Amino acid sequence: MTTSGRMELVCPAGTPSALRAAVQAGADSIYCGFRDETNARNFPGLNFSPQELAEGIRFAHAHGSKVLVAINTFARAGDTDPWRHAADTAAACGADAVIAADIAVLDHMATQHPGTRLHLSVQAAAATPESIGFYADAFNVRRVVLPRVLSVQEIAALNRLIKVETEAFVFGGLCVMIEGRCYLSSYAAGRSPNLNGVCSPPEMVSYDEDREGTAARLAGFTIDRYAPGEPAGYPTLCKGRFKAGDKAGYLFEDPVSLNAGSMIVAFKAAGVTALKIEGRQRGKGYVTEVVRAFRKAVDAAEQGHDATEIDNILAGLSEGGRQTTGAYRKIWR
């Protein structure tokens, strides 16, 4: 929650230029990570060096925004130094909070940097009062980023039973797996998103063109095939299209994006403190457009506008792609 009591808009930045773009577009907070395996968006050329983080924090603070540093992969047994170093560096740079899931990282922060706020990453998949209470009591976690499996009614009920703030994803990529516990891509790539920070490592991704179109492959496994001219996607196994018998289809989940913009008013009523936009791997053009639109939408919600008016503000963000409110609106219940 911001000092004015309105919901906090938490926005992604994969590069310093995206951080500046988010700040200038109206983000209350920006989350980012270091250029290594300690964060869950470990792509080549992405993320921040310690110096870039320090400069980014100075820039954000000068404009009234906060910076939250994601150290949200799980430390490797026998090699915890990268995570310990990342935590120490984030605190030294003046991060407003560290977002973590691993109890080793949480413990290190709580004992060595008790003055730095701790947010529980979605990677911890904490969705019950008991698990959230454990993290709050053991490590003084102040906010939990909620897994994308709860309805808004369940979030409201949860908020009545816990003492910490909640942050809900509101826009961007959608992961239907239990976050922090998904090993699907590990079977193909041999690397874990939870330990190495990336579902489909780019070095194992290929797009091979032939007369029938383009085959998207991960570690040699064909995940999807696109006809000439057909829009393609980044090949993650969970969004792959597979053929069984004569029928081809999405086995795990359809490639739809989350857009819960129409539920901002409901989130506020449910006691949600912060709304999170996904997309640290996206460019600054995306960051600017989405943050600007959600800034207007959140402000409108705070001023009492209804869901229809907020839908109109966000109408330009569909990009022609398929979108869903995900589990937040479970109409089958």
Q: Residue 279 CB, nearest distance to another protein (Å)?
A: 11
> What is the secondary structure of 163-212 as a DSSP string?
SSEEEEEEEE----S-TT---HHHHHHSS-HHHHS-SS-GGGEEEEEETT
Residue type, 299: D
Q: Which residue's CB is nearer to another protein, number 55 or number 311? A: 55
297, containing H or E segment:
helix 284-302
The reply to whether 175 sits in an annotated binding site is yes
Q: What is the dihedral sign for C-alpha 169, 322, 307, 333?
A: negative
- Beta strands 205-210 and 165-172: pairing type? unpaired
221, containing H or E segment:
strand 221-226
Site of interaction with another protein (CB under 8 A)? 14-18, 43-46, 49, 52, 201-203, 205-209, 214, 226-234, 282-286, 320
User: What are the tokens at 229?
Assistant: 């001219």
User: Contacts for 217-226 with beta carbons within 8 Å, 24 or more apart?
Assistant: 218/185, 218/188, 218/189, 219/188, 219/189, 219/190, 221/188
The reply to whether 32 sits in an annotated binding site is no
143, containing H or E segment:
strand 143-145
Q: Rounded to whole angstroms, how far apart are CA atoms 303 and 67?
A: 26
Q: Which residue's CB is nearer to another protein, number 180 or number 201? A: 201
User: What are the tokens at 34?
Assistant: 């270091």
Q: Residue 43 CB, nearest distance to another protein (Å)?
A: 6
Q: Which residue's CB is nearer to another protein, number 66 or number 284? A: 284
Q: Which residue's CB is nearer to another protein, number 107 or number 209? A: 209
Q: Residue 184 CB, nearest distance to another protein (Å)?
A: 19
Q: Residue 294 CB, nearest distance to another protein (Å)?
A: 18
The reply to whether 238 sits in an annotated binding site is yes
Q: Which residue's CB is nearer to another protein, number 211 or number 333? A: 211
CA nearest to 278, candidates 199, 167, 174, 172: 172
Q: Residue 257 CB, nearest distance to another protein (Å)?
A: 13
Q: Residue 142 CB, nearest distance to another protein (Å)?
A: 31
Q: Which residue's CB is nearer to another protein, number 16 or number 326? A: 16
The reply to whether 93 sits in an annotated binding site is no
Beta bridge partner(s), residue 244: 247
Binding-site residues = 175, 182, 199, 238
Binding-site residues for [4Fe-4S] cluster = 175, 182, 199, 238
